[in-house]
Amino acid sequence: MSAPASPTPAPAPMVIASVTNGVGTISLNNVARRNALSAALLDAFIDALADFKAKSVRAVILRAAPGLKVWSAGHDIKELPRGHEDPLGYGDPLERALRAIRSYPGPVIAMIQGSVWGGAFDLVLSCDIIIGDETSEFAITPANLGLPYNTTGLLHCLNRLPLNLIKEMFFTATPVKADDAARWGILNHLVPSAQIEAYTQSLGEHITTKAPLAIAVVKEQLRVLSDLQPVAAQVFEHIEDMRRQVYESADYEEGINAFFEKRKPQFKGV
Which positions are catalytic? Answer: 75, 119, 149
According to DSSP, the residues that pair with 17 across neighbouring strands are 26
For 158-189, the DSSP string reads: HTTS-HHHHHHHHHH-PPEEHHHHHHHTS-SE
**CA-to-CA distance for 66 and 55, rounded, in angstroms?**
25
Positive/negative CA dihedral, 28, 32, 36, 40 = negative
According to DSSP, the residues that pair with 115 across neighbouring strands are 70, 137
**CA-to-CA distance for 136 and 116, rounded, in angstroms?**
7
Query: Residue 50: helix, strand or coil by DSSP?
Result: helix
Contact indicator for 223, 127 with CB cutoff of 8 Å: no
Burial status of residue 63 (CB atoms within 10 A of its CB: 0-12, 13-18, 19 or more): buried
Query: Residue 115: helix, strand or coil by DSSP?
Result: strand
- Identify the CA nearest to 206 among candidates 123, 131, 121, 102: 131
User: Which residues have a Cβ under 8 Å from the Cβ of 26 and sit 6 or more positions away?
Assistant: 15, 16, 17, 45, 48, 49, 52, 60, 61, 62, 63
Query: Residue 23: helix, strand or coil by DSSP?
Result: strand
